[in-house]
Amino acid sequence: MSKDERRVKHITPKTEDFSRWYIEIIQKSELADYAPMKGMMVIRPYGYAVWENIQRLLDQRIKATGHVNAYFPLFIPESFLQKEAEHVQGFSPEVAWVTMGGKEELEERLAVRPTSEAIIGHMYSKWVKSWRDLPVLINQWANIVRWEKVTRPFLRTTEFLWQEGHTCHETSEEAQTETLLILSLYKEFVETELAIPVISGIKSFREKFAGAQETYAIEALMSDGKALQMGTSHNLGQHFSKAFNIRFEDRNQNLQYVWQTSWGMTTRLIGAVIMSHGDDSGLKLPPRVAPIQVVIVPISMGNWKEDVLPAAQAIEEGLKKVGLRVLLDTREEFTPGWKFSEYEMRGVPLRIEIGPRDVKAGQAVLVRRDTREKMTLPLDAMASKVPGILEDIQASLFREAETFLRENTRQAGGYEEFKDVMDNQRGFVKSLWCGSDACEDKIKEDTMATIRVIPLELKSQAGPGACVCCGKEAKALAYFARAY
């Protein structure tokens, strides 16, 4: 058995069984664990720390674009959900209901929010009276419950965490601008902070949010070739403002319904990070969201506490001073080799090894998680060089994922070619589509692929051409993929 095989012996290789690999990584790296109720998980401290980093970085962006945070109730009266017909129809199969309060049956049952358009719409109708009240730009961080039939940690759990933005605008144009602003904010966030390249665009009618006028989304390609929706931004039009009577008197003294948007990203993002970057040795966390960015492993030989520890502590302090999240692992019950493997499995981007030889030479050994590249660096250069190395790791993870995305995005002109790619290669397939539900359904039935998005920048490229499925005149160029 080679060294490499020994190192990874207890993780199922990605290529052998992707989904087992995914589950094992989550449990062994202590991101999350199963709760005893179906479809529910505990986000453990290490996983929650990733979420906190995501929250912080996303929240900054949401606030920077003029939004403010608020909090709405967990429960929504049934009658509220029913006000928007498509909305209730879309969500009713997966709503959890509260029917009892203590020992008394409720007069009206309460939905545990599957999303908050209804309760927020109700409140907005109280708050919005004049054009001067607009726009309303509110976001909330909350938990959501959807009674899903098939669940998987982070990707689809009965309860999950998210942020949901809900805005009201004076005009349709403003709502559309907001919808696209958030879409691009999401794309920038995911690409910058999670190092995951995405394609963005509009959803087909079949795939749009229940109650929305239009749904836009960002989609990424996981390393098994399946697509994952990472964020959605909905232009709600006046669907909810009419259902909830959210009206205002406009600048011309006309009574009008507001134009709304809603948008969200969830703890699913963590699943995307795992599946985009991880390898057979475990997680690879992007430095921007890694709970531990740098781990220092002292080589504890001889009287290392005098020889090595002070130098290790000096590195720790120096790196903390420049704002890095650092862990110095001084535990004596584990050997350095054990720690190396452990932190690789947990996805720590950079490891610093320092032993007696290094201290004498005034240096330490740095090992990158992404490339496993080793380098030595003078001790007094740590604080100035390490941040740059982390940035390079972040950039390199993105490039690698970008290459994967590019290499797994294919064109298919004919239907046989389309089916062949879906069966044998997966990934995204770009094809022309006539716009009919019938073709979308047939493609799904034949290949399990759905339209992930119709990229906005490619709308004009639809041009003259034939639908990949029926051969009739195409209306759009769409990205198809099998999806989570």
Partner RNA sequence: CGGGGAGUGGCGCAGCCUGGUUAGCGCGCCUGCCUUGGGAGCAGGAGGUCGUCGGUUCAAAUCCGACCUCCCCGACCA
Site for RNA in 300-319 (CB under 7 A): 300-302, 304
Q: Which is nearer to RNA, 105 or 445 (CB)?
A: 445
Among 176, 229, 241, 276, binds RNA (CB under 7 A): 229
Stretch that binds RNA, among 90-98, 179-187, 254-262, 427-435 (CB under 7 A): 90-98
Q: Which of 440, 433, 431 is nearest to 411 (CA)?
A: 431
143 with 117: CB under 8 angstroms?
no
Nearer to RNA, 246 or 345 (CB): 345
Q: Is the Cβ–Cβ distance between 112 and 135 less than 8 Å?
A: no
Among 29, 125, 139, 158, binds RNA (CB under 7 A): 158
Contact indicator for 54, 186 with CB cutoff of 8 Å? no
Q: Which is nearer to RNA, 128 or 275 (CB)?
A: 275
Contact 247, 255 (CB under 8 A): yes
CB of 431 to RNA, least distance (A): 19
The neighbour count for residue 133, using CB atoms within 10 Å, is 15
- Looking only at residues 108 through 137 of this chain, which bind RNA when binding is defined by CB under 7 A? none
In the complex, minimum distance from the CB of residue 377 to RNA, in angstroms, rounded to a whole number: 11
Q: By rule CB under 7 A, what count of residues binds RNA?
A: 75
Q: Within 10 A of 103 (CB to CB), how many other CB atoms are there?
A: 5
Q: Which of 250, 280, 342, 417 touches RNA (CB under 7 A)?
A: 342
Q: Is 94 in the site for RNA (CB under 7 A)?
A: yes
- Full DSSP string of 162-210: EEEEEEEESSHHHHHHHHHHHHHHHHHHHHHHS----EEEEPPGGGS-T
Report the distance separating Cα 365 and Cα 342, nearest Å.
Answer: 17
> Does the protein bind RNA through residue 267 (CB under 7 A)?
yes
Q: With b meaning 16 or more CB within 10 Å and e meaning fewer, what string describes 446-457? A: ebebbbbbbbee
Output the smallest distance, CB 38 to RNA, in A: 3
Q: Does 170 bind RNA (CB under 7 A)?
A: no
Phi-psi region of 411 (alpha: psi -120 to 50; beta: other; left: phi over 0): beta
Q: How far is the first Cα of the chain from the last one, in angstroms, to the nearest whole number? A: 35
Compute the least distance from the CB of residue 39 to RNA, in Å.
5
Q: Which of 78, 86, 148, 280 binds RNA (CB under 7 A)?
A: 148
Residue window 356-395: x/- pattern of binding to RNA, with contact defined by CB under 7 A: xxx-----xx-x----x-----------------------
Select 118 or 432, whichever has its Cβ closest to RNA: 118
Per-residue binding string, RNA, 423-462, x by CB under 7 A, is ---------------------xx--x--------------
- Minimal distance, residue 208 CB to RNA, in Å: 8
Helices and strands counted in the chain (H then E): 16, 23
- At 467 the three-state DSSP class reads coil
Q: For residue 167, give Cα distances in angstroms to 131, 133, 264, 389.
A: 14, 12, 12, 40
Binding mask 31-60 for RNA (x = CB under 7 A): ---x-xxxxx--------------------
Minimum distance, C-beta of residue 92 to RNA, in the bound complex (Å): 10
Q: Taking the alpha carbons of 62, 177, 228, 159 in that order, is the dihedral positive or negative?
A: positive
In the window 182-221, what residues touch RNA (CB under 7 A)?
A: 207, 209-210
Shortest approach of RNA to residue 460 CB, angstroms? 27
CB 264 within 8 A of CB 164: yes
Q: How far is the CB of 301 from RNA (least distance, A)?
A: 5
